[in-house]
Amino acid sequence: MGLYQYVREAWKKPENSGLWKERLVKWRQEPATLRLEHPTRIDRARSLGFKAKQGFLVVRQRVPRGGRMRPNPRHPRRSKAMSRRRDLAMSYQVVAEQRVANKFVNCEVLNSYYVAEDGLHLWYEIILVDRTHPVIMADPRISWISSHKGRVYRGLTSSARKGRGFRHKGKGTEKFRPSRKARGI
């Protein structure tokens, strides 16, 4: 087994290590969006396209857990519209990606991965690429990203495509297109 395989095995049950609780205590006190020197999960970052070179950034984003609540109306209306809880079609991971994209305007979101969670928060690490960096523009394997502006808002990252139902291959009569809303799900 190679190094990354050992790291991947260790991340399957991270709660077993004593490091897990210490990390969460520290991360709760840090700001919600934090740029990192190195990825926490190097195996996952590498498999999602991260390279340890200029133009690549890793940012840890904290997202609050729980249903998205909307305010209670003050005047009587239809009981159908009175429900407080509303689940978005976006996953927490997509929300985290969009928040990071809002902070780092000159960068494009390449991908993201799960890092940790507790009762109140979820943490994701987002891989960003600086579109205008000369090293990125000179590399033919990643230079395509300089012409793909706003990927995260158009639902083109891996986690957004999963939420939109693009990760499945249709088997037989199962239909994954058009959208879930159009199919009445």
Set out the domains of the chain in order of their start, with CATH numbers. 3-69+83-183 (3.40.1120.10)
The amino acid that residue 40 corresponds to is T
CB 71 within 8 A of CB 85: no
Supply the pLDDT for residue 48: 93
| pLDDT 10s digits, 41-93 | 999 999 999 999 999 999 999 999 887 666 666 666 677 666 666 667 789 99
pLDDT (mean) for 8-13: 84
Reduced to 3 states (helix: H, G, I; strand: E, B; else coil), residue 184 is: coil
| pLDDT 10s digits, 117-159 | 998 999 999 999 999 999 999 999 999 998 889 999 998 999 9
User: Where residue 107 falls among pLDDT bands split at 50, 70, 90?
Assistant: very high
The token pair that represents 69 in the structure block = 């609540």
Reduced to 3 states (helix: H, G, I; strand: E, B; else coil), residue 132 is: coil
